[in-house]
Amino acid sequence: MKFVDEVEITVKAGNGGSGSASFRREKFIPYGGPDGGDGGRGGDVVLMGDRGLNTLVDFRHQRHFEAPKGESGRGRQQYGKSGQDIVIKVPTGTEVYDLETDEKLADITQHEQKLVVAKGGDGGLGNMHFKSSVNRAPKQFTSGKPGQQRTLKLELKVLADVGLLGFPNAGKSTFVDAVSQAKPKIADYPFTTLYPALGVVKIDAETSFVVADIPGVIEGAAEGAGLGIQFLKHLQRTGLLLHLIELPAYEGMPSPVEQFHQLSDELVKFSEQLQDKTRWLVFTKADITVPEEARAMAEEYVKAIGWQGPYYVISSVARQGLESLIKDIAEYLSEAKFNSQN
């Protein structure tokens, strides 16, 4: 399935039904008065979050949505039926913008969270409302109000606790596959991952976190190079970034030290918010040599980078160092959640 994370749609709420100009006409009631009912209200257009969706691809086939209009009023003070609301499901993590005003309408982050993006028009008044002591047979009524129409931009930013940052072929997909139930596409060439994949890492029955495998970022991504610019924004929601660097650099790729600095520069160019996020270094593919040599290589890179934060040496294939890393991530996220609530 193709990943689509940004789309424009047009929504049109239903128009209100017109009021009725009717008069009571019954046998043995010679002076029947006005009895025209009101028109029904037009239907609303509603967006609703759905955690079962992870892409906006469905909107490639339908870009225009229109709710039913309200029915007109009838005689005998019968009100017109209101138009039914239409509910459009979007992935959780979708931001909604009004393109005409550039206003951000909402950030849909919860399952079944609803947002009315276009309100239906009110129904018109029937002539029974216009009866008075000086006008006993009013013929006037009002038409229904038009429903609201908007052009919206939907922008999806995946919801994950942990985001994986790294050059193509750094081992991100293999890591997700090793620690979760997700099954991302994996191969020994760059740009295997073409769209974000989410994996749930379960620690125990009550503890879990979501990790996002983001397509590899290359130098110049913030200016549009490669696939990274399309997905750097997905890292903005994560609580922790794991910067994955393979110990033996992929042939033709920059050295691990150069990779670190290039990607750090891309984060700053794209968003200062990303620069300030907590980031841990994770050296991957440690199984290419014995553990002691892999650790020595990592320490050498850490020293050359000037890194002061946590770093780990792992092999997703051989499952080396994964248990310690997962345990530390769970503890960090739990502490961060506790601090945010107090």
pLDDT at 65 over 90: yes
What would the two tokens of residue 335 be? Answer: 């502490």
Q: Check whether 312 is labelled as a binding-site residue.
A: no
pLDDT at 192 over 50: no
Domain contains 1 = no
Domain contains 19 = yes
Q: What is the pLDDT of residues 157-191, one digit of tens each?
A: 777 788 888 877 778 878 888 887 655 443 343 44
Q: Check whether 104 is labelled as a binding-site residue.
A: no
Domains held by the chain: number: 2
Q: Check whether 168 is labelled as a binding-site residue.
A: yes
Q: Check whether 169 is labelled as a binding-site residue.
A: yes
Q: Check whether 225 is labelled as a binding-site residue.
A: no
- 96 is in which domain, residue-wise? 6-156
Q: Are residues 221 and 311 in the same domain?
A: yes
Q: What is the pLDDT of residue 83?
A: 93
More confident residue, 28 or 266: 266
Q: Are residues 193 and 152 in the same domain?
A: no
Q: Are residues 170 and 152 in the same domain?
A: no
Last residue of a domain, one of 124, 140, 156: 156
Mean pLDDT of 300-310: 91
Q: Check whether 192 is labelled as a binding-site residue.
A: yes
Where does the pLDDT of residue 227 fall: very low under 50, low under 70, confident under 90, or very high at 90 and above? very low
Q: Check whether 226 is labelled as a binding-site residue.
A: no
Q: Are residues 301 and 227 in the same domain?
A: yes
Percent of the chain with pLDDT over 90: 29
Where does the pLDDT of residue 230 fall: very low under 50, low under 70, confident under 90, or very high at 90 and above? low
Q: Are residues 291 and 173 in the same domain?
A: yes
Last residue of a domain, one of 111, 129, 156: 156
CA triple 193-197-201, angle to 5 deg: 130
Q: What is the C-alpha separation between 64 and 45, in angstroms, rounded?
A: 11
Q: Check whether 286 is labelled as a binding-site residue.
A: yes
Q: Check whether 55 is labelled as a binding-site residue.
A: no
What would the two tokens of residue 128 be? Answer: 């029974």
Q: Check whether 94 is labelled as a binding-site residue.
A: no
pLDDT at 152 over 80: yes
Q: Check whether 194 is labelled as a binding-site residue.
A: yes
Q: State the first-to-last Cα distance of the chain, in angstroms, to the nearest integer.
A: 41
pLDDT at 251 over 80: no
Q: Check whether 173 is labelled as a binding-site residue.
A: yes
Q: Check whether 207 is labelled as a binding-site residue.
A: no
Neighbours of 21 (CB within 10 A): 18
Last residue of a domain, one of 132, 156, 180: 156
pLDDT at 339 over 80: no
What would the two tokens of residue 294 be? Answer: 């892999």
Q: What is the pLDDT of residue 1?
A: 36
Q: What is the pLDDT of residue 185?
A: 43
Q: Check whether 52 is labelled as a binding-site residue.
A: no
What would the two tokens of residue 272 be? Answer: 């200062």
Q: Are residues 215 and 137 in the same domain?
A: no
The domain that holds 208 is classified in CATH as 3.40.50.300
Q: Check whether 189 is labelled as a binding-site residue.
A: no
Q: What is the pLDDT of residue 32?
A: 67
pLDDT at 24 over 90: no
Dihedral of CA atoms 193, 258, 311, 280 in degrees, nearest 10, equals: -60
Domain contains 98 = yes
Q: Are residues 329 and 182 in the same domain?
A: yes
Q: What is the pLDDT of residue 88?
A: 95
Q: What is the C-alpha separation between 40 and 8, in angstroms, rounded?
A: 30
* CB of 81 closer than 8 Å to CB of 44: no
Q: Are residues 322 and 193 in the same domain?
A: yes
User: Which residues does residue 197 pair with via DSSP β-bridges, in sequence order?
Assistant: 213
pTM of the model: 0.63
pLDDT at 222 over 50: no
Mean pLDDT of 5-20: 91
Q: What is the C-alpha separation between 185 and 194, in angstroms, rounded?
A: 9
Average pLDDT, the chain: 81
Q: What is the pLDDT of residues 84-142, one digit of tens each?
A: 999 999 988 888 999 999 899 998 988 899 999 999 999 999 888 888 877 877 888 88
Q: Are residues 204 and 300 in the same domain?
A: yes
Q: Check whether 325 is labelled as a binding-site residue.
A: no
Mean pLDDT of 148-165: 86
